[in-house]
């Protein structure tokens, strides 16, 4: 990641995630699009995990008490799981095509500086 620069790698992950969501919202029933979405989502999730958990929090620790920084960085994952369990009854009311369009819109907004 440090050979190409973090910014380019993170932008590539956002583009992959955005393309996957955009194609899935346009063609939700085509198996090839579903497969592309799963592959792009997996690669983007791997990029974001390495970039935002391991690299950023590892740089902040400077080799001292790194486990505390990694714990701080990974605590967001269980919190997100708990929030998804809490909000799932309300989120079930949103149909799939609206959810993918909404997600694509927010992903687009995320890459605008």
Tens of each residue's pLDDT in the chain, 113 residues:
566 678 888 899 999 999 999 999 899 999 999 999 999 999 999 999 888 877 877 777 776 777 777 787 788 889 989 998 998 888 888 887 788 888 888 888 888 76
- Residue 101 located in a structural domain: yes
Q: Distance (Å, rounded) from C-alpha 54 to C-alpha 108?
A: 25
Tell me, yes or no, whether 24 lies in a domain: yes
Q: What is the pLDDT of residue 43?
A: 95
Provide the domain count of the chain. 1
Q: Do 51 and 1 touch, CB atoms closer than 8 A?
A: yes
Provide the domain limits for residue 88: 6-111
Q: What is the pLDDT of residue 2?
A: 60
Residue 1 lies in a domain: no
């Amino acid at each position: 990641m440090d050979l190409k620069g973090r910014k380019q790698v993170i932008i590539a992950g956002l583009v992959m995630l955005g393309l996957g969501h955009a194609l899935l919202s346009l063609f939700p029933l085509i198996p090839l699009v579903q497969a592309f979405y799963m592959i792009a989502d997996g690669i983007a999730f791997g990029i974001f995990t390495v970039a935002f958990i391991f690299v950023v929090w590892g740089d902040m620790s400077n080799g001292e008490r790194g486990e505390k920084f990694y714990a701080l960085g990974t605590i967001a994952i269980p919190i997100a799981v708990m929030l998804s369990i809490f909000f799932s009854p309300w989120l079930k009311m949103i149909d799939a095509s609206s959810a993918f369009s909404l997600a694509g819109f927010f992903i687009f907004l995320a890459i605008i500086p």
